[in-house]
Amino acid sequence: MIWHILIIGILLPQSLAHPGFFTSIGQMTDLIHTEKDLVTSLKDYIKAEEDKLEQIKKWAEKLDRLTSTATKDPEGFVGHPVNAFKLMKRLNTEWSELENLVLKDMSDGFISNLTIQRQYFPNDEDQVGAAKALLRLQDTYNLDTDTISKGNLPGVKHKSFLTAEDCFELGKVAYTEADYYHTELWMEQALRQLDEGEISTIDKVSVLDYLSYAVYQQGDLDKALLLTKKLLELDPEHQRANGNLKYFEYIMAKEKDVNKSASDDQSDQKTTPKKKGVAVDYLPERQKYEMLCRGEGIKMTPRRQKKLFCRYHDGNRNPKFILAPAKQEDEWDKPRIIRFHDIISDAEIEIVKDLAKPRLSRATVHDPETGKLTTAQYRVSKSAWLSGYENPVVSRINMRIQDLTGLDVSTAEELQKDEPDAFKELGTGNRIATWLFYMSDVSAGGATVFPEVGASVWPKKGTAVFWYNLFASGEGDYSTRHAACPVLVGNKWVSNKWLHERGQEFRRPCTLSELE
């Protein structure tokens, strides 16, 4: 019996040394402890350097007093045999000892620790991945750059700010991806913060250089020209800006001639500027998906809402639930989505998480061109698989699912299969139903959404949701197509059980109607 565990963090290919840190809150917390250890090591190094300087300082103060006295009467001073001996001793021995102290490298311990820890550091792909994740959150939750930069996100416990340099870096990542829409947004934010007087390692010239070109790429030639002139006011010798200025002026003059010729033929004809928009990979379904993630889904009519109930469920008189029935709540009517409350304890959750953490790996998707499993930018979760025989807690939870659903869990998937279609044959029949545990609360975001019907189901620790992927006839219910929303603040642990057709023949008999 295999159980699928999924952790979804908040922003690509991986290597053995760099396992895609940006895709997992769990692994990022390890980096926090690593950085804390390095800070401790750095403070130890600073203390060692301070102790060393303190010793040198004491030497300097002692010798300053001694030489001040000696230089007042050099002959009289060395006339004393003890002073003569000590002078020879200092210059022959003690100054050599001081030299060795000054040359002593106190950084060995820190550098050694840093070298060891560096092999576990994130790489460029992780940094770029985290930046792209932030841009995705910006679009999904309709956030402006100023809100993100100031850290004004819902449910935050540890407020954090973006510097102008951070905003510039986000803009550069978007620029590298030819995403000029986000390049413009973040370069403008960086420029605003610099205009407000923020001290930064980047300058306005660098920002304006990227910004003017991003604006030009989106078809706003007037604004691109204005920004280029502003850049040249700051740096009149900027070679690329001077070249762009001539090119922009040439294009504008050419367009002016074309418009003039067109107006002679049709005086009321107007040219329509190229409209700015979001990234080029924007999909038709994405707008509906993002609205659902923001909680802007379809609102049920009062008549439909009246048909949704909360109840106690005893698993069809199952002995385990007669005295302590499960709490059940209707989340949606068509398709029917049911939530079970208090269905998994905190202790069970911790055991499952401890079992899963060492096995977490980047979730993959099916590439229709190659037929192979591969990572994808839009799926940055990490997953693991647990077998019922590995731990009695996992086995007990599996039986709980069977008792409450009335379905046989023995034919559930035994290998991880990331498929584009939940109804593809997998040897034990199609996926007849899905059971999804929420093993953490999420401060903001992280809903499970059903774009076909406009439903959003929000995470709540200790609960589980259940729905059928197939009609009783065996036909696929495509209204259950669902997707996970990115976590805006916090982290999300879920575990799911895919139940299959095989073994359910008498537990859920087939009907004659295709859509029942």
In tens, the pLDDT along 152-209 reads 888 787 788 999 999 999 999 999 999 999 999 999 999 999 999 999 999 999 999 9
CB of 184 closer than 8 Å to CB of 213: no
Per-residue model confidence (pLDDT) at position 423? 42
Q: Say which CATH class 299-500 falls into.
A: mainly beta
Distance CA 156, CA 248 (A): 44
Backbone angles phi, psi at 331, to 5 degrees: -90, -35
Distance CA 226, CA 499 (A): 61
> pTM of the full predicted structure?
0.76
Mean pLDDT to the nearest integer, 419-447: 77
Q: Any idea how long the chain is?
A: 516
DSSP class of 506: T
- State whether residue 387 is helix, strand or coil: strand
Instruction: Determine what percent of the chain is predicted with pLDDT higher than 70.
Output: 82
What's the Cα-to-Cα distance from 501 to each of 239, 474, 504, rounded to whole Å?
68, 8, 6
Q: How confident is the model at residue 419 (pLDDT cuts 50, 70, 90)?
A: very low
Per-residue model confidence (pLDDT) at position 184? 97
CB of 296 closer than 8 Å to CB of 452: no
Q: How confident is the model at residue 307 (pLDDT cuts 50, 70, 90)?
A: very high
- State whether residue 52 is helix, strand or coil: helix
Per CATH, the number for 124-254 is 1.25.40.10
Q: Is the pLDDT of residue 31 over 60?
A: yes
